[in-house]
């Protein structure tokens, strides 16, 4: 039976890329009646420095974002990673399965560590092994993610395959990434060659899930574009990264195909398209941000939801970890 797992880091500024690439997909999966496990990966977040008070706030805000976007904590399991120790325990086993060479090839490691790899945390380097543990602790079969996580998902499969091979078992599944929709890679509003990201210093580069209607409209109005009208088909978006990004965002928000959007707006100027996009974005995002703000007024209720979710998560992960320990030969497992 299929089981879906995915996570988002509580590293602040949940944005439109996270929403279209991940959160919106998570809700759709839940609506299909598939078993869904969603995690606020706070242990991943601290691979780069996080102020403790901000981490706690971002974790609760992210939980509020999940719920406001449509995740039902009864139907889905919703929790934060650090409350379920099995993630860290299984990650250690996987640290011993994964190879240094595999990790060194990860583009996220290369991007985030930059030139100064000696100063990066060991956790940042080992990040993909913890991610494999997140997924495989639930024997998850499918993981909805944005395009940027594809390489990590491939590594998760490599780790599962090597574990199975080394121990002569058929225990961990080879998990499938699910990278779907028109907006699997939302780009910065200021630079069509960079992905929209929580950590971009320019707040104008992204639409935050907490932005109000005015902020959303202003950011879209000021989004970088080229001077040409929109093309009438997909091919006309090649070499036009900023135009393509805005069209993809429209398609993602409206649940339309890119071709459908272009059938409507092809030949029109950005002065016409941008206000339509802003209106659509406000219509879809403003209720979510209002609901997030409302939920944040009751942090105790959020904590209770996370605690209950963690209990349900542990009920699945604990027997899988126990079996893993037995396979590895750990006495007393
Ligand atoms: N720009 C994006 N377009 C589509 N999907 C995206 N995701 C992230 N950015 C985009 C997807 O959101 C999920 C959660 O991401 P994350 O928070 O775990 O990790 P991240 O990729 O590190 O997020 P950021 O915003 O890019 O943070 P920083 O700035 O810290 O690097 C994942 O499914 C991801 O694919």
Q: How deeply is 4 buried, as exposed, middle or buried, from its count of CB atoms within 10 A (0-12, 13-18, 19+)?
A: buried
Domain enclosing residue 277, as ranges: 210-294
Pick the catalytic residue: 104, 115, 195, 322?
A: 195
Report, as an integer, the average pLDDT of 293-322: 98
Dihedral sign for Cα 12, 16, 22, 28, please.
Answer: positive
pLDDT in tens, 16-42: 999 999 999 999 999 999 999 999 999
- Shared domain for 145 and 173, answered yes or no, is yes
What ligand 1 atom has the least distance to the C-alpha of 186? 3
- 9 appears as a binding residue in the annotation: yes
- 269 appears as a binding residue in the annotation: no
Looking at the chain, the whole-number percentage of residues with pLDDT higher than 70 is: 100
pLDDT in tens, 83-141: 999 999 999 999 999 999 999 999 999 999 999 999 999 999 999 999 999 999 999 99
CA of 17 to the centre of ligand 1 (A): 7
pLDDT in tens, 299-309: 999 999 999 99
Domain for residue 333, yes or no?
no
Among 16, 17, 29, 40, residue to substitute to test ligand 1 (most atoms within 8 Å of Cβ): 17
Question: Could you tell me which of 163, 130, 6, 116 has the C-alpha nearest to residue 69?
Answer: 6
Query: Helical H runs in the chain?
Result: 16-18, 24-31, 42-45, 52-69, 86-95, 100-104, 107-113, 122-136, 150-167, 213-222, 241-254, 258-265, 270-295, 299-328
Q: What is the CATH number of the domain that holds 119?
A: 3.40.50.620
ipTM: 0.95
- 121 appears as a binding residue in the annotation: no
- Shared domain for 106 and 222, answered yes or no, is no
- Shared domain for 129 and 24, answered yes or no, is yes
- Shared domain for 9 and 118, answered yes or no, is yes
Measure the CA–CA gap between 299 and 72, rounded to whole angstroms. 17
Residue 259 has a CB neighbour count (10 Å cut-off) of 14
- Shared domain for 235 and 314, answered yes or no, is no
Domain for residue 204, yes or no?
no
pLDDT score of 66:
98
Backbone angles phi, psi at 269, to 5 degrees: -80, 160
With a 6 A CB cut-off, is 185 part of the ligand 1 pocket?
yes
Question: Could you tell me which of 137, 107, 165, 116 has the C-alpha nearest to residue 43?
Answer: 137
pLDDT score of 225:
96
Helix (H) or strand (E) holding 7: strand 3-8
Measure the CA–CA gap between 21 and 144, rounded to whole angstroms. 8
- Shared domain for 323 and 218, answered yes or no, is no
- Shared domain for 162 and 221, answered yes or no, is no
Query: Torsion-angle region of residue 268: left (phi > 0), alpha (psi -120 to 50) or beta?
Result: beta
CA of 79 to the centre of ligand 1 (A): 18
pLDDT score of 86:
98
Measure the CA–CA gap between 224 and 213, rounded to whole angstroms. 19
Residue 13 has pLDDT above 90, yes or no: no
Q: Which single residue is written with the structure tokens 């029109």? A: 268
| Structural domain count, the chain | 2
Where is average pLDDT lowest: 59-68, 86-95, 178-187? 178-187
Domain for residue 202, yes or no?
no
CA of 198 to the centre of ligand 1 (A): 7
Domain for residue 48, yes or no?
yes
Looking at the chain, the whole-number percentage of residues with pLDDT higher than 90 is: 97
- Shared domain for 313 and 177, answered yes or no, is yes
With a 6 A CB cut-off, is 148 part of the ligand 1 pocket?
yes
pLDDT score of 216:
96
pLDDT in tens, 226-260: 999 999 999 999 999 999 999 999 999 999 999 99
Provide the β-strand partners of residue 92: none
- Shared domain for 241 and 137, answered yes or no, is no
Question: Could you tell me which of 216, 210, 180 has the C-alpha nearest to residue 24?
Answer: 180
pLDDT score of 149:
96
What ligand 1 atom has the least distance to the C-alpha of 48? 30
pLDDT in tens, 197-220: 998 999 999 999 999 999 999 999
Domain for residue 193, yes or no?
no
Predicted TM-score of the model (pTM) = 0.95
- 11 appears as a binding residue in the annotation: yes
pLDDT score of 6:
98
pLDDT score of 240:
96
Q: What is the CATH number of the domain that holds 286?
A: 1.10.240.10
pLDDT score of 239:
93
pLDDT score of 312:
98
- Shared domain for 310 and 283, answered yes or no, is no
Q: Is 195 a catalytic residue?
A: yes
Domain for residue 201, yes or no?
no
pLDDT score of 199:
85
Domain for residue 18, yes or no?
yes
Report, as an integer, the average pLDDT of 48-68: 97
CA atoms within 13 Å, Cβ hemisphere of 157: 12
- Shared domain for 20 and 156, answered yes or no, is yes
Residue 62 has pLDDT above 90, yes or no: yes
- pLDDT category at 182 given cuts 50, 70, 90 is confident
CA of 146 to the centre of ligand 1 (A): 7
- 197 appears as a binding residue in the annotation: yes
- Shared domain for 9 and 136, answered yes or no, is yes
Measure the CA–CA gap between 66 and 206, rounded to whole angstroms. 19
Among 149, 181, 202, 248, residue to substitute to test ligand 1 (most atoms within 8 Å of Cβ): 149
């Amino acid at each position: 039976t299929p089981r879906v797992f995915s996570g988002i880091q509580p590293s602040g500024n949940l944005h439109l890329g996270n929403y279209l690439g991940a959160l919106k997909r998570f809700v759709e999966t839940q609506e299909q009646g598939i078993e869904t496990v969603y995690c606020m990966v706070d242990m991943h977040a601290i691979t780069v420095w996080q102020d403790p008070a901000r981490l706690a706030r971002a974790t609760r805000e992210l939980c509020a974002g999940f719920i406001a976007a449509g995740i039902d904590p009864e139907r889905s399991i919703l929790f934060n990673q650090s409350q379920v120790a099995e993630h860290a325990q299984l990650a250690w086993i996987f640290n011993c399965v994964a190879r240094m060479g595999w990790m060194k090839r990860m583009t996220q490691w290369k991007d985030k560590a930059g030139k100064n790899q000696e100063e990066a945390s060991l956790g940042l380097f080992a990040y993909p092994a913890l991610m494999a543990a997140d997924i495989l602790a639930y024997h998850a079969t499918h993981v909805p993610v944005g395009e940027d996580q594809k390489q990590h998902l491939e590594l998760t499969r490599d780790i599962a395959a090597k574990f199975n091979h080394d121990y002569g078992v058929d225990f961990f599944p080879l998990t499938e990434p699910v990278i779907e929709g028109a907006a699997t890679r939302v780009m910065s509003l200021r630079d069509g060659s960079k992905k929209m990201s929580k950590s971009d210093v320019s707040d104008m580069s992204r639409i935050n899930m907490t932005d109000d209607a005015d902020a959303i409209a202003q950011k879209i109005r000021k989004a970088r574009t080229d001077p040409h009208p929109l093309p009438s088909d997909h091919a006309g978006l090649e070499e036009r990264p900023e135009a393509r990004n805005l069209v993809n965002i429209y398609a993602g928000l409206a649940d339309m195909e890119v071709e459908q959007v272009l059938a409507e707006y092809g030949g029109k100027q950005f002065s016409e398209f941008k206000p339509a996009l802003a209106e659509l974005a406000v219509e879809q995002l403003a209720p979510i941000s209002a609901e997030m703000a409302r939920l944040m007024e009751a942090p105790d209720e959020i904590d209770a939801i996370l605690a209950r979710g963690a209990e349900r998560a542990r009920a699945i992960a604990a027997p899988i970890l126990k079996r893993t320990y037995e396979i590895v030969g750990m006495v007393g497992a």
